Chain A
Amino acid sequence: EAGVTQSPTHLIKTRGQQATLRCSPISGHTSVYWYQQALGLGLQFLLWYDEGEERNRGNFPPRFSGRQFPNYSSELNVNALELEDSALYLCASSSGTRAAGELFFGEGSRLTVL
């Protein structure tokens, strides 16, 4: 069974540009989560999508946005990139929405903003 897949693996952008990151969840999983892992800051919750709807978002500015497609894959968009957006962006999926359960993480997309 394929795990969570993310693309691209690495992305280099300059300040002010836009970045788009993609995630395919494990087959059968309907929930997708995005986390930012910046050096020394652990994993910061960004967004949660389920059944195509945004269910929750973390304490990030509106220039962080995303969507979930009918096939449950997801896209994270970061507009007006700033230097501090440089981080590893992790996508995770799960099969449940109301019961806390295991999150399955991808290997991440490393975004570097120059």
Chain B
Amino acid sequence: QQQVKQSPQSLIVQKGGISIINCAYENTAFDYFPWYQQFPGKGPALLIAIRPDVSEKKEGRFTISFNKSAKQFSLHIMDSQPGDSATYFCAASRMDSSYKLIFGSGTRLLVRP
């Protein structure tokens, strides 16, 4: 019930294309869904996050789509750039006193020039 399943494991996209990464969760008590971006040799950094009261959130070229009934959420990167090449992690948590983030297994994105 605590798992967050992420796919695909790796993704290759041409420059200018759309990158799509999907995540599914089991625990219906989760109410915070962030995406983290990690470059080689660096720690993960928050990219964008969504709460279940909205179905979509957009920040620049990055969009989270959220489907509460299906218990799924996805990250879309529009006009993908080589600088977007990184590992992306979805995560989920509960907003209570036992706060902790449960991460997906990560997607390694390569954007070809």
Contacts and interface: CB of A to CB of B under 8 A. Distances in A.
A41 B44 CA distance: 14
Interface of A: 4, 33, 35, 40-45, 48, 55-56, 58, 90, 92, 96-100, 102-108
A105 B44 contact: yes
B42 interface: yes
B95 A42 contact: no
A48 B99 contact: yes
B46 A102 contact: yes
Interface of B: 6, 31-32, 34, 36, 41-46, 49, 89, 93-106
Contact of B43 (A41, A48, A105): A105
Nearest to B34: A102
A53 to B, nearest CB: 12
B46 to A, nearest CB: 5
